């Protein structure tokens, strides 16, 4: 996958801090990019076209059809991930 935009950064509405496009592209569920990648990056570049060209067709379709988890489930998972990263 072409990583030309991976260094771009913006504030993540889910995590509350700056993240790179590369992070969003690689840290979603089931090997997909983050489910909010379209919402977050559309103003920076044509993220839809980029992902259409970069992902296999079936993967792109799965990403387009992803439904977000309930907020509470998502928060618990983020807390668990942070605990696992702590030294």
pLDDT of residue 2: 61
- CA–CA–CA angle 53, 58, 7 (5° rounding): 40
Number of domains in the chain: 1
Domain that holds residue 21: 9-85
Q: Is residue 67 in a domain?
A: yes
Q: Is residue 2 in a domain?
A: no
Q: Is residue 48 in a domain?
A: yes
What is the crossing angle of helices 47-54 and 57-64, to 10°?
140
What does the pLDDT look like over 39-83, one tens digit per residue?
A: 999 999 999 999 999 999 999 999 999 877 788 887 888 888 888
Stated as kind and residue range, the H or E segment containing 67 is none
Q: Is residue 66 in a domain?
A: yes
More confident residue, 18 or 1: 18
Report how far apart, in Å, the C-alpha atoms of 13 and of each of 4, 17, 39, 58 are. 23, 8, 10, 27
pLDDT of residue 1: 54
Q: Is residue 4 in a domain?
A: no
Q: Is residue 25 in a domain?
A: yes
CB 73, CB 81: distance < 8 Å = no
Distance CA 75, CA 82 (A): 11
Return the residue matching tokens 């995590």. 15
Kindly tell me if the per-residue pLDDT of 28 is higher than 70. Answer: yes
């Amino acid at each position: 996958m072409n990583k030309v935009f991976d260094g771009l950064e913006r504030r993540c509405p889910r995590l509350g801090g700056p993240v790179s496009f590369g992070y969003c592209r690689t840290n979603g569920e089931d090997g997909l990019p983050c489910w909010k990648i379209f919402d977050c990056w559309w103003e920076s570049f044509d993220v839809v076209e980029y992902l259409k060209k970069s992902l296999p067709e079936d993967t792109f379709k799965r990403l387009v059809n992803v439904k977000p988890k309930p907020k509470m489930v998502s928060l618990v998972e983020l807390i668990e991930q942070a605990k696992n990263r702590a030294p």
